[in-house]
Chain A
């Protein structure tokens, strides 16, 4: 087991072009009122590139624009790409109008990955806020498909309300797997909610993992990741075994448009997955 953990080298995984390639929508699933999952297959041969959990694609809605969207499907020999998208503005609304059979443009995959394949024997702690579960899902699916390789698996997922939770049924299925702990929480809920109420950080002290051996992967709003880091530290997990994914406006995804800079990092190229201690200096500042 390597003692120093890094996200896998991003540049080695990267495709360079600014030209999208056509992909066709195979299926579509509504996750909740504003979030949907689409499965895509390449319209042309030779454009299916391997990806690693945590990476993202640039999805192009014809004539409207591009958005960075994480890959949310399984990395295990799949010939489609799955994306889970929340409708928040112009491009994501255009993507929301897609139906099976429609074509979109796709560039990618881009960026760094969760270090999931470097973690044999480790306890894995996944902490997700809202749509943050989407970029974690490929890593979770990988871990479940290689269950023997890992120690305990803890999945902590939070959302504003029960209706906002994504992958709800799947979360309950994962819960049934041996040695997998799934805890759900929402900020507010009705009486039919039989899980936790409160912010996701309150689940951490109850979770069963060995802090001396665990690695945490966290994705959600920045404020949630900040508090999660503090709580994990309190429970004995150091920043060097904590990975987060950051989000910034992105135009090119290949490190030249300048938009996604975060201190010295280009989030599209050096991230989006970072080891927490590597970015801590900048993450502790406001408005970086």
Chain B
């Protein structure tokens, strides 16, 4: 596969990208500052982007800080992920009606007209997370019509990172920091700021991406621009705040279900479920049934759920996972081990959100390292 020649778009012209997308009928959404965090919301102009902001991230710590430059994408990732658009936090699945004779009719409750979103500013880890959720909802036999309907309209604009965050480890997970052809996207962008110049290097990853590029006042990028962009990405790769040794991690966790580290982390974990809410790949849901006052109109709603709650495994007689130990173990082994069995990939893209947003700063890279240190089954046999 040949890569399209990169083009150069000066900072002053970046607004033309938003305009081109709007002309094509896309609703452009992307990063913007709200209440001291970077969230994803509608973008109508370049100034809506988090210009000149960076996010300081550590275990249990997140703070926006001013940058020394006016970068548009100089932050890492916020607490939200794009899944909120594709896998809404709350969704009406079914509408049920009962007539006087008692007969029931069921109709699809998801009546929302799918929006044609352009996702502007998907970091490489986030493009990978979307690819992982595609496998969950669209792979293996049964497609989730709700996800499918929303997903098929998306125009994705990936942004390679020029700087890594304190809790990032995408290099360990093989998911970044550069947006490459390994991860489907429509456009890929790298932001470059040098002494006096501020520009973007763009490549198309799809036919529609190519069409959009043709509508921009862009010029072919010179080798100096391409190499400056490359340097930015290399800089990000070399400044990862975290790392994880993923060698054999699938077997490592599978064979260490009784490792003392699970007790150790259970002493710290509040089972608050924050990690699952911020994780861009977590997909679990619960349902709720409601009726109106007449009792003849019922609805079934689906909403995000978490394996950290006791209810999650509730059955007549009690929960299958009573202890915090078993719930943390379920989460981590699912992410890094059984996800491979289910979806042929890891369930973690190394975005670091779960570390940053954990109120007590539990860090999965440290938990894995601690388990590895006292691996109880150093030579695992895979059956």
Contact = CB atoms under 8 A, between A and B. Distances in A.
Nearest to B97: A62
B22 interface: no
Contact of A63 (B257, B290, B321, B333): B290
A251 B258 contact: no
B313 interface: yes
Interface residues of A, number: 43
B326 interface: yes
A84 interface: no
A200 interface: no
A165 interface: no
Nearest to B297: A63
Interface stretch (B55-63, B101-109, B112-120, B355-363): B101-109
Interface string B329-368: 0100110011001100000000000000000000000000
Interface residues of B, number: 54
A106 to B, nearest CB: 10
A287 B140 contact: no
Contacts, number: 128
A259 B284 contact: yes
Nearest to B104: A22
B382 to A, nearest CB: 10
B127 interface: no
Contact of B106 (A19, A65, A285): A19
A102 B93 CA distance: 23
Interface in A84-106: 88-89, 101-105
Interface string B84-105: 0000000001101010001111
A21 B104 CA distance: 8
Interface in B250-266: 254, 257-258
B96 A285 contact: no
A64 B312 CA distance: 18
A19 B94 contact: yes
Interface string B255-283: 00110000000000000000000000001
B315 A247 contact: yes
A256 B287 contact: no
B104 A249 contact: no
A13 to B, nearest CB: 10
Interface of B: 93-94, 96, 98, 102-108, 136-137, 140-145, 254, 257-258, 283-287, 289-291, 295, 298, 302, 305, 307, 312-316, 320-323, 325-326, 330, 333-334, 337-338, 341-342, 383
Interface of A: 11, 14, 16, 18-22, 43, 60, 62-66, 88-89, 101-105, 247-249, 251-252, 254-259, 261, 263-264, 266, 269, 281, 285-288
14 contacts: A18-B145, A19-B94, A19-B106, A22-B103, A63-B290, A63-B291, A65-B289, A89-B316, A103-B104, A105-B96, A249-B315, A259-B286, A263-B338, A269-B141
